[in-house]
Structure 1
């Protein structure tokens, strides 16, 4: 179980890899099944917590006294820290070993979840959610990293990446379902406390199967880079959410958004000069890398916001209880699994552009369909159809986009590649949720001022958010169609 990466025979280098970088030999043997189980369980824990609190938000708000705008920080505290530190998490896996880093991330996640379940006020809950985000940033990139160095490139890796992406795609929907059941049966605190037994299950599997492989040489961490990118995203989200009380053109809003831009520019400047940058900017010379990350950014914005507003719509407009709202997402779970499974089977037979564009257009259509729901809508007539269309499309596009963004990556940059993909989705989700929350509040106020009922105002606000979320997915489809050349099916493998 020791560090054996340095003794692997070279099998060539990936495009864009540093000179002399050789691809590590995958680890064969009967434990590959346990390895896949460990990384998928870890990924499930991470993605569940992106959405598991959504159905519980109304009860959390009543119990702890959140404001309507402040409530989104229960989600954003997790996704902002998660997205901002994912790249650092990827480097931790590369530099300090996969097994020990995964174990540390699991323990931290369990502790933060326990503290969140015991929170007595909004500040304590937001702090605990930020702690979960930090643990998630350590865990999430390890999964893809371990897959890339365990499974040989080809059918075995395709299947492993497909299973991992299926968990990533369907886990968010499953989180909404689990959140509804836990909130209704045990109370909202269990949407956080449930992670404790999940960590207890995953930790021994990881310790028994994952090799403590290191691929990054001497440990050098770009902590300033991680702090800068996290601060930039937090400032952007804070500035956008602040428009609930301050106009877009106010000095406060413009100052906070300008700070976010400055911090982002300083981050790029620092990365160009740092001897061991958290992001080797040259990796974006690869068309598939930058395209998969931009697509992930837009998909994350549409998907996270979609789950958030769908949960609120079911409870605040249609009057569903937590368990009913969670159960309403069961078709979405099934659709996401079906789309991901279809993507796994087709990625080696159909060119990637067709799969990604087709999936994104389906997802965008489903989100736009959601925007037509009204207070008089029923589950069968208003929620079921868009759930199935959106979920199949998102599952199909995410599997293919994940495979595109990680194929051909050198093993010493496996953590970077997987961290970038995860960070793109989470950053998109954080900023997208902040923007769409303000749009929803604005549209809701306009409807109320025009004489609409409280439920009509909420439906108008949520509908605006769904419409923009659908537009983001369609924009990602158009970008992919223009930027990615058509390829022969064999090239997709």
Structure 2
């Protein structure tokens, strides 16, 4: 296994243009992929009219991307370990550029859906590869913590930026620029990355665990589809329940396969490690709570206060600022508290910021509370996310860093997918069949209580079960 060598005398200080360019390339790729998650959401109705999607099929523009981004991430993370992280990263960025160009010029639904599938596959390939290149390029300690903090801050800010940028591009230019904006970024990364990234892969390449790959990918695809379908229809929807059952069955089969094969796709000794198991659970809950809170507050802003989609998106700019602040202070918090207490402190502060939102009312006067709470919650959530990323990728050898970052990316993707349908179901149940502003407000505040409770639960579980692990 080869890694980028540090040229500084102090391995915890970043020196030299190569390291800085490595960080810039990987952070640029991560930020771009985060933007892609939300950049089309505001533009979906316009896209449907221009390209010819029926209202019933409009959801597939987002669903096709989400399915592939989540379903293939663990597989591609491990493939990067086996066949080369730099190779997978560059292939994924090239696919992203081509898919974005095709999506931007698409004039028929099948072409646009194919482009979104390709974008999802590119995301599944690039995200774990970029993260594993990051963790193998910078040693454990302050330097890696700083790099992961910057990565987390930019990715969290990317989700917010995507919603705002999508609205601006659609209003001022065309929804097609939401695709085209990726093309020059991909070209720039592909021009610089081959010169600064160093390939890392196993010296002796084992056979790919085909049955393990098929079962885990199929299981994740079914699980994400079931969660998405439940969010769009209901938790009683037959297709959603069947998909969730198939997902659980395939993932259970995957674990059985991994116990029996000589060269498993996911060595179970890695999954048994407390920092991997409980760290990823903390990460999943971090993304469940924050993304679902954005969904709930979007309902509040549009359905209770009557804001336009663009104005609602702009209201979350303060959340993006909070995540950047959280990313900037996370290394100092980690240095002072350690990973476990950092995660616990992040979740408790997030709960404290979320809970006052149950007081929201039906006038614009409550916007001050919303903005302050989302800023503090953004800071806290990002601190918890950085703590989870450092925890789940530490004390592991370089040959499994692609797997480790694939697991963290999977936790992120599943958390994003799971949070909205769960909170939507809670809010809908509390609305008692009504959909007026008063009923929506009741549903939103009820779900916010649950959201804050999940933050406290995550803190308790982390404190109870996440203990330092010995190196593998």
With the length of structure 1 as denominator, give the TM-score of the two structures: 0.82
CA 1:486/1:447 → structure 2, altered by over 3 Å: closer, same or farther?
A: farther
Q: How far 1:371 moved relative to its partner? A: 5.2
Between stretches 121-130 and 230-239, larger displacement belongs to: 121-130
Contact kept, 8 Å, 1:119 with 1:125, in 2: the verdict is yes
Between stretches 78-87 and 66-75, larger displacement belongs to: 66-75
CA deviation map 1:262-320 (0-9, x unaligned): 11211211222233322111112221111111111112222333334444544454343
CA 1:461/1:101 → structure 2, altered by over 3 Å: closer, same or farther?
A: same
Question: Equivalences for 1:330-349 in 2 at 5 Å?
Answer: 330-349=317-336
Aligned to 2:36: 49
Q: Secondary structure at the match of 2:434?
A: helix
Contact kept, 8 Å, 1:165 with 1:399, in 2: the verdict is yes
Q: Secondary structure at the match of 1:215?
A: coil
Say whether residues 1:269 and 2:256 are aligned partners: yes
Aligned to 1:471: 453
Q: How far 1:215 moved relative to its partner? A: 2.7
- Which of 20, 23, 26 aligns to 1:36? It is 23
Q: In 2, distance between residues paired with 1:284 and 1:322? A: 41
Say whether residues 1:281 and 2:268 are aligned partners: yes
Aligned to 1:90: 77
- Which of 117, 123, 126 aligns to 1:139? It is 126
Say whether residues 1:234 and 2:221 are aligned partners: yes
Question: Equivalences for 1:340-489 in 2 at 5 Å?
Answer: 340-370=327-357, 372-378=359-365, 380-444=367-431, 446-448=433-435, 454-485=436-467
CA 1:168/1:435 → structure 2, altered by over 3 Å: closer, same or farther?
A: same
- Which of 136, 154, 168 aligns to 1:167? It is 154
Task: In structure 2, list runs of 5 or more residues that go unmatched.
Answer: 9-15
- Which of 287, 300, 313 aligns to 2:287? It is 300
Aligned to 1:16: none
Q: In 2, distance between residues paired with 1:156 and 1:337? A: 18
Between stretches 262-271 and 273-282, larger displacement belongs to: 273-282
Q: How far 1:441 moved relative to its partner? A: 4.7
Say whether residues 1:222 and 2:205 are aligned partners: no
Contact kept, 8 Å, 1:74 with 1:126, in 2: the verdict is yes
Contact kept, 8 Å, 1:222 with 1:276, in 2: the verdict is yes
Between stretches 333-342 and 306-315, larger displacement belongs to: 306-315
Contact kept, 8 Å, 1:447 with 1:460, in 2: the verdict is no
Q: In 2, distance between residues paired with 1:250 and 1:326? A: 30
Contact kept, 8 Å, 2:353 with 2:373, in 1: the verdict is yes
Count matched residues. Answer: 463
Q: How far 1:406 moved relative to its partner? A: 1.3
Question: Equivalences for 1:121-200 in 2 at 5 Å?
Answer: 125-200=112-187
Q: In 1, distance between residues paired with 2:353 and 2:46? A: 28
Q: In 1, distance between residues paired with 2:229 and 2:287? A: 21
Q: How far 1:203 moved relative to its partner? A: 1.7
CA 1:120/1:306 → structure 2, altered by over 3 Å: closer, same or farther?
A: farther
Q: In 1, distance between residues paired with 2:285 and 2:171? A: 33
Q: How far 1:39 moved relative to its partner? A: 0.7
Between stretches 335-344 and 199-208, larger displacement belongs to: 199-208
Between stretches 383-392 and 48-57, larger displacement belongs to: 48-57
CA 1:262/1:49 → structure 2, altered by over 3 Å: closer, same or farther?
A: same
Aligned to 1:9: none
Task: In structure 1, list runs of 5 or more residues that go unmatched.
Answer: 1-20, 449-453
Contact kept, 8 Å, 1:169 with 1:398, in 2: the verdict is no
Q: In 2, distance between residues paired with 1:460 and 1:124? A: 41
CA RMSD of aligned residues (A): 3.3
Q: In 2, distance between residues paired with 1:66 and 1:442? A: 30
Q: In 2, distance between residues paired with 1:68 and 1:305? A: 24
Q: In 2, distance between residues paired with 1:434 and 1:119? A: 30
Q: In 2, distance between residues paired with 1:117 and 1:262? A: 38
Q: In 2, distance between residues paired with 1:93 and 1:144? A: 11
Q: Secondary structure at the match of 2:139?
A: coil
Q: How far 1:89 moved relative to its partner? A: 1.7
CA 1:30/1:457 → structure 2, altered by over 3 Å: closer, same or farther?
A: same
Contact kept, 8 Å, 1:347 with 1:400, in 2: the verdict is yes
CA deviation map 1:90-147 (0-9, x unaligned): 2232223233221111011122223333445666544433321210111111222112
Q: In 2, distance between residues paired with 1:474 and 1:252? A: 33
Contact kept, 8 Å, 2:2 with 2:200, in 1: the verdict is no
Aligned to 2:247: 260
Q: How far 1:69 moved relative to its partner? A: 8.3
